[in-house]
Amino acid sequence: MLSFHDARTQNRRSTSELAGGLLVAPLECPERVDMIAARIREVGLGELCPAQAYGREPIEAVHDADYVRFIEQAWSEWQAAGYDGEAIATVWPTRRTRADFVPRHIDGKLGYYALAAETAIEAGTWEAARASVDVALSALEHVRSSGEPAFGLCRPPGHHAAVDQYGGYCFFNNAAIAAQAARAAGAARVAILDVDYHHGNGTQQIFYHRDDVLFTSLHCDPLDEFPYYLGRADEIGTGAGEGANRNHPLPPGADYAAWRAELEAAMAGIDAYDPDLVIVSLGVDTFAEDPIGSFRLASEDFSDYGRLLAGLQRPTLFLMEGGYAVDEIGINAVNVLTGFDSA
């Protein structure tokens, strides 16, 4: 299987994540990509190809243009305000205040566009987030032109990013942008299967009213886990999209047997939908040793479900999402891909 990467994804080098009341070294670090790339080479998965540049048009086919401009300019506006640290939201439009205008001050803008406070914006964020989209679109192009599967080493991840919101380490929704680009290029139906430990609230929101992109997600129950305010099983889509959103929440601590049973149910739904393309939002924070996930998958379980996914027999695009056990992230992500290739 071919993989795609871009060195500019490493330009995001945030030093601060708000966690447990402290500013700590971010879990979503550049070394994650290095470890995956090293493992790809070690097992000889296939060529690691450079990404092409696609510009902002495919990003703006999913995200609001004002939001894209905000991500582009936030760091310089933050610096112009004279702040010393990285840009972190501290105040929000909430129930009983207004959210129908964007404040002028950077503090107001950050709260308007942020869905969570853990994720800081710094000097390289805009470039890295754009490069992550380029990686996804380059891998998509390979799947579309060859029919072969491909893997995008996206970083930062994307599935929490909504039409006009960032957070949960995500800025642009790589999987949603790829799905939209595939539709524009002629795919009739696209299925997104999100296997990250966290619910893909952004992807869900982007396609909630549509039936041309099916969103199916396995994740920890939002009653107990980030992103908390979306991801329950009764969220089935709206209007034309009714029935095209499928959430499979699992309890904290779920083991592989429970997870695999939900995957098989999710796959039956995808098969019946008959998509031209399957996009896998590949988060490996379901790993037992993940520092923030509670699920109990072992490294060999990733190979097993990779094999299972090949049973869909569809053109398949894998895009990296979460996974924070950095020492094993390459093993686990690449196990899915080698499992898929071996089937």
Residues tagged active-site: 160
- Quote the tokens at residue 141: 């192009």
For tokens 């060859």, the residue is: 146
Exactly one of 77, 196, 262, 301 binds Zn ion (CB under 5 A); that residue is 196
Q: Cα–Cα distance between 29 and 73 in angstroms, integer?
A: 22
Task: Name which of 77 and 119 has its Cβ closer to Zn ion.
Answer: 119
Site string for Zn ion, 273-312 (x = CB under 5 A): ----------x-x---------------------------
Is residue 321 a contact point for ligand OKP (CB under 6 A)? yes
Give the span between the Cα atoms of 76 and 127, in whole angstroms: 13
- The interface with ligand OKP within residues 1-30 (CB under 6 A) comprises 19-20
Give the nearer residue to ligand OKP in terms of CB position, either 2 or 329.
329
Q: Output the smallest distance, CB 175 to Zn ion, in A.
A: 13
Contact between 78 and ligand OKP per CB under 6 A: no
Q: Given candidates 48, 123, 292, 298, which one binds ligand OKP under the rule CB under 6 A?
A: 292
Would you count residue 196 as binding ligand OKP (CB under 6 A)?
Answer: yes
283 lies in the site for ligand OKP, by CB under 6 A: yes
CB atoms within 10 A of CB 65: 11
Nearest alpha carbon to residue 319 among 207, 171, 183, 159: 159
Spatial neighbors of 331 by CB under 8 A, at least 6 apart, are 39, 299, 302
Q: Between 23 and 310, name the residue whose CB sits nearer to ligand OKP.
A: 23
- Rg of the chain's alpha carbons, rounded to an integer? 19
Site string (117-156) toward ligand OKP, x via CB under 6 A = -x--------------------------------------
Looking at the Cβ atoms of 126 and 226, the one nearer to ligand OKP is 226
Our finding on whether 231 is near ligand OKP (CB under 6 A) is no
Please state, in angstroms and as integers, the Cα–Cα distance from residue 133 to each residue in 9, 215, 292, 319, following that order: 9, 19, 25, 10
* CA dist., res. 198 & res. 295, Å (int): 11
- For ligand OKP, which residue of 112, 151, 169, 305 counts as binding (CB under 6 A)? 169
* Residue 290, token pair as written in the block: 């993940």
Specify whether the backbone of 194 is left (phi greater than 0), alpha (psi in -120 to 50) or beta. beta
CB 109 within 8 A of CB 77: yes
**Contact residue for ligand OKP among 122, 134, 221, 285 (CB under 6 A):** 285
Structure tokens at 70: 């905000």
Residue 226 sits in the site that holds ligand OKP (CB under 6 A): yes
Beta bridge mates, 216: 193, 246
Point out which residues bind Zn ion (CB under 5 A): 196-198, 283, 285, 322
Point out which residues bind ligand OKP (CB under 6 A): 19-20, 118, 157, 160, 168-169, 196, 198, 226, 283, 285, 292, 321-322
